[in-house]
Structures are given as C-alpha cells and as structure tokens.
Amino acid sequence: MRRLALALAAGGLAACASVPPPQPASLDHGILIARVGTEGVLFHRSVKWADKGSISEVDDAGERIPGQRGLSGPGPDGYVIFYNLPPGRFVLRSASFRARGARYQVQPPRPEEKKRAAVLPRGGAAYLGTYVFDSRWPEFGELMWNAARVAFHWLTPFLRRPLLTRNTGLPTYEAGRAEETKALLAVRGALAGTQWSPVIAARLRELGAAEPPKLAGVLRSRPLPLREEPILSWRDTLKWGEPRRAPGGIAWRRPGGEAQIAVFHTTATAPGFAGYEAAVSELRSEAAASVEDRGGVYEVAVGTRIGVAARATKYRYPEGVLVGSETIVIVTETILVPDGYGIFTARLRAPRGEFESVLPAYREFLQQLALGPPPPKAPPKTEEVLPFAGGAP
C-alpha cells in the first residue's frame, strides 16, 4: 500500500501549465517541494532550474528504504513538486533539466544526507530545500561521447532525449524558514483552486509567514512602504487617505461611502478586561443576536497571525420616517487576535451592499499588517576620527 502511495507521487508529472495538478488521493497524503539549479560552466550566473526530480524515503537513521521512491513534475519559478506522498521522512535523490537536445541530471551527495531529510506530516506540506550545483567541464572522452549522443538526438528528435550526468561539485544547500516560505508562496498561485491550496495555506500559517508586500507602480513597481504606528505597522493598500488616530488605535472611513475600518489594541491592564476567551464568547453572543448570523465564528488571517471573527447584522431606521418603511442593514465584522499583552481588534462596519464590495480590499489590508510595536531602529553608525599625530596641519 505504501509503495502504491509513493507511486502516485509520479502524478506530479502532470503539474505543468496546460494540465491541472492531481488532486489528493487520501487525507493522509501530502506534498513536497524542492528547487534545484545548476550554474553554467562559463557563466556562473546563468542557472538552469530542474523541471523533474526524484526522492527516496529514509528511515530514522537516514538510510534509504529500498523501493520507496517518488517522481515529480515541474512547478512554477523553477520549483519541482511531489504530490500524494504518505507521511514520512524523504530526501532528494536526483533532479534534471533540459538543455541543448539532452536532459542533464544532477545528484546530491550521499554523505550528510540525513541532515537534509524533510519530514512530511500527515496531509501536510514540507520543503526539501534549495540546491545550487556548480558545473565543471567533463573529461575529453566523455565530452565527445555526450556530443555524439546529442547530435544523434538532433537527427532523431522523435526519440526521448538522452539522459546525461552533469559534472558538478558540492552544491550549496538552503532549507530554512525563509527559503521554505519563499517556496510555498511561489507554488501557491499555481495550486490555487485545488485541494492542495488549504495544505499550503496551513503550512504558511505554521511558519508565521507574512504576505509579500503589495507592489505599486507600472513601469518600475516597488513595494508599498510600511508605515509605523505605536501599536502596529501598515501599508496603504486601501488608498482611503490618512487614518484617524487615537491612543491604541487607528481608523479609516471610505471616501464617498459609509464603510469604516478600525484596528485597535486593548491591553490586559485595561479596566474590565476579562481575557481573550471571554472576548470570543461575547463576540459569539453578539453575532447570535441576529437570526441571519447564527453566532458562527471563523478564522481570518491578520498579518502573520490568525484571528477569530464573527459578523453581526443590525437594522437602522432613519429618523423622521415610519418604522419599517425604510431600512438600512448594517453589517459589522469583528476580528479578535490574541496578543501577549492583550487583544488586537480589527473591525469593518458598512451598509450591506457596500460591505460586500469593500470586503476583498479589507482582507488584503489585514494581510499586509504587522501587529505589535515596530522594532527599535538601530543607532546610526559612528566612525572614529584619529587626530593627526603632529597636531593640526
């Protein structure tokens, strides 16, 4: 059964631009990502990224388990993806790329392989790392033989490309949190709309990964600057103008509309503060006051954290009109984010029609937040000036 599950990983060969990736075959199956590049012999900055790879499962001692292998297919931005893998410990076995009428293969060295193993949890995602190999000239005889095989393929293009081993030295290897976050963000778009999307999102939450800064500009796009406040930092994705500021909070009102957005922090020492769980209970009760909302709560990403949210619907009757003849429906979404020093609260309030139109921009704004006081700025560097040995010149 386990070999069958690993064989299903070969479905990754379908992961190309024209064919959708395979769907999960089981709730136990997960996804692995890797990136393998090979520098050019003459131009080291010219890197070829692999579009295929193979893996082996290893035991706790780091020894490969015979027969337990899987294949991958190409992903976006030079990443390769392995689908439908059972939970276990895996290492990259080989990777290959196409060039000049051949397919060139590279293999990570076996020594220290245990340290490069990635543990794939049940139904989760993991990163095998980024490898970059340097290329070296082969011996003259091997060079001529490879050239002959490539020339033969040019004469018979209907046959499979020859598989050649690339002469390389020891590769550089990176697999930290930053590299994994970069890999997950790179493949997220390609897997959007598939059942792998929640798996990628869950792993990004585990890593506490921030969303990439939104870019502005047409010809020369640049990240929107991070604007610092005492309680958080934000990017002006809303374009609603300057916020209104108060101790512990900031708020915006949509120009030409009634939608309002506020983000504020309540400290644990504030009068009446009862804790996060009590606040969530009160949030649920407020949402249950309306038959439309049913008191349901759900999760929303706020910066690198996850908050608990609920909606409350209220009816407003303008003054001077008969009750019931004219009704304005106001929808409020409140999000609570636990903090070591209290609770962050984010709130969107707007008439129902305007609420739905503003909600996507509000979600994007929340993802670009950095909760908490900004880090202290480093003191300016000072250079010591040595006096002239003989006094003033």
Q: In this predicted model, what pLDDT tens digit does every residue of 154-176 receive, in sequence order?
A: 667 766 776 777 767 788 899 88
The percentage of the chain sitting over the pLDDT mark of 70, rounded to a whole number, equals: 79
Both 195 and 311 in a single domain?
A: no
Both 182 and 325 in a single domain?
A: no
Q: In this predicted model, what pLDDT tens digit does every residue of 120-135 receive, in sequence order?
A: 999 999 999 999 998 7
Both 75 and 24 in a single domain?
A: yes
Both 186 and 238 in a single domain?
A: no
Whether the predicted pLDDT of 341 surpasses 80? yes
Domain of residue 351 covers: 222-371
Query: By mean pLDDT, which of 153-157, 200-204, 251-255, 338-342 is the weakest?
Result: 153-157
Both 230 and 203 in a single domain?
A: no
Q: How confident is the model over 138-151, as a mean pLDDT?
A: 65
Both 42 and 180 in a single domain?
A: yes
Both 128 and 201 in a single domain?
A: yes
- Identify the residue with better confidence: 74 or 115: 115
* Residues 306 and 339: beta-carbon distance below 8 Å: no
Q: How confident is the model at residue 388 (pLDDT cuts 50, 70, 90)?
A: low
Last residue of a domain, which of 207, 232, 252? 207
Both 171 and 271 in a single domain?
A: no
- Identify the residue with better confidence: 139 or 82: 82
What is the structure's pLDDT at 6?
Answer: 54
* 182, part of any domain: yes
Q: What is the pTM of this model?
A: 0.70
Q: Report the CATH number that the domain containing residue 317 is assigned in CATH.
A: 3.40.1000.10
* 213, part of any domain: no
Q: How confident is the model over 352-356, as a mean pLDDT?
A: 93
DSSP string, 293-330: TTT--EEEEETTEEEEEEEEEEEE--TTS-TTTS-EEE
* 378, part of any domain: no
Q: In this predicted model, what pLDDT tens digit does every residue of 232-259 receive, in sequence order?
A: 999 999 999 999 999 899 999 999 999 9
Last residue of a domain, which of 140, 172, 207? 207
Query: By mean pLDDT, which of 52-56, 323-327, 351-355, 376-380 is the weakest?
Result: 323-327
* 376, part of any domain: no
* 386, part of any domain: no
* 216, part of any domain: no
Both 111 and 7 in a single domain?
A: yes
Q: Supply the mean pLDDT for the chain.
A: 83
What is the structure's pLDDT at 14?
Answer: 40
Last residue of a domain, which of 207, 230, 254? 207
CA 131/CA 134 separation, integer angstroms? 10
Both 76 and 131 in a single domain?
A: yes
Place of tokens 């609570």: 336
- Identify the residue with better confidence: 29 or 218: 29
* 342, part of any domain: yes
Q: In this predicted model, what pLDDT tens digit does every residue of 300-335 receive, in sequence order?
A: 999 989 999 999 888 877 665 555 556 788 999 999
Provide the strand spans (E) within 154-258. Answer: 163-165, 172-174, 215-216, 222-223, 227-228, 232-234, 244-246, 249-253
> How many domains are contained in the chain?
2
* Residues 79 and 33: beta-carbon distance below 8 Å: yes
CA distances from 158 to 16, 100, 105, 249, 264 (A): 21, 15, 21, 67, 65
Both 189 and 231 in a single domain?
A: no
What is the structure's pLDDT at 140?
Answer: 65
* 43, part of any domain: yes
Both 85 and 161 in a single domain?
A: yes
CA 121/CA 85 separation, integer angstroms? 10
